[in-house]
Amino acid sequence: MKNDYELLDFGNGRRLERFGSYILDRPCPAAEHICSEKPVLWKQSDSRFVISSQNSERGYWTTELKPWSVSFEGINKIIKGTINMELSCTPFGHIGVFPEQQINWQRIAFALAEVSKQRTETIHVLNLFSYTGGSSFAAALAAPNISVVHVDSAQSVTDWAKRNARLNGLNSIRFIVEDVRKFVHRELRRKHCYDAVILDPPSYGHGLKGETWKLAEHLPALLSDITGLLSNNQCFILLTAHTSGFDSSAMQAMMNNAGMSQEWSWEKFVMEIPATTGKYLESGYGIFGVSPSPQNNKIG
């Protein structure tokens, strides 16, 4: 089955990607000191994102494109068919999906499919900083006994995720619009537990009421709180980030301080996207932890 996504080339601080029928030229800090391989390809771009001279977080697209949908191929034959996503060119240069997360969709789907073979009860999954829902859908589509809670502080992004859920025929995901830290604290008070936790925190962000989020400052406490949400049937935790200077070793150190690493098995990894040129674009880091529970020995 053909994937609607291709990284065609990257370099000179930019990336050239095909999303379905459109080719987009976007900024890419990770490609700042790299030369592009195929300059001729860049002339095929349907739209180019230009950063504002007055606000480095915003900009404009040279050609306005109406929202469109793309399909990401089945994940290791666990998820039959595709994960479908609606895309749109935003004034922040994002379009509604992070392609480097595809490898994590595989991890999520495989782990939950394996656990579901051994459990008949509902497997509860919590997805924090959930954006437009790719990881939530990978979890929900992995097995029929998966229950997903999807949390993000932005109403507009959550509405986007709901549209994506409909594209994938999913109506069982619980969508929550709330500051992640407040949600976790409330779940702790209510003694709610989860078997798996997924989180992809931003470097900086703001909650519904202006709460400030700084990854280096606030993530350690959040991870400590998350340990209190894990059920007796805990199976995995997946943490990814795109923050400069924050790699898998830093994540491992935070997990150590949160009290999980002594018992769990951890896989540290770099998120990379293969380009059609044969090169790989580094796009953040991650850590995947598997519980020592005998029920989960087959995960990974």
Spans in the chain with pLDDT lower than 70:
1-2, 74-81, 208, 261, 293-300
> Is 147 within 8 Å of 172 (Cβ atoms)?
yes
**Considering the entire predicted model, what is its pTM?**
0.93
Residue 141, class by beta-carbon neighbours within 10 Å (0-12 exposed, 13-18 middle, 19+ buried)? Answer: buried
Residue 13 in tokens: 């601080």
Q: For residue range 172-227, what is the model confidence (pLDDT) as tens digits? A: 899 999 999 999 999 999 999 999 999 999 988 877 677 788 888 899 999 999 99
Residue 208 main-chain phi, psi, to 5 deg: -60, -35
Tell me how far apart the alpha carbons of residues 237 and 182 are, in angstroms, rounded to a whole number: 19
Structural domains in the chain, sorted by start: 5-87 (2.60.40.1180), 99-296 (3.40.50.150)
- Spacing of C-alpha 120 from chain mean position: 27
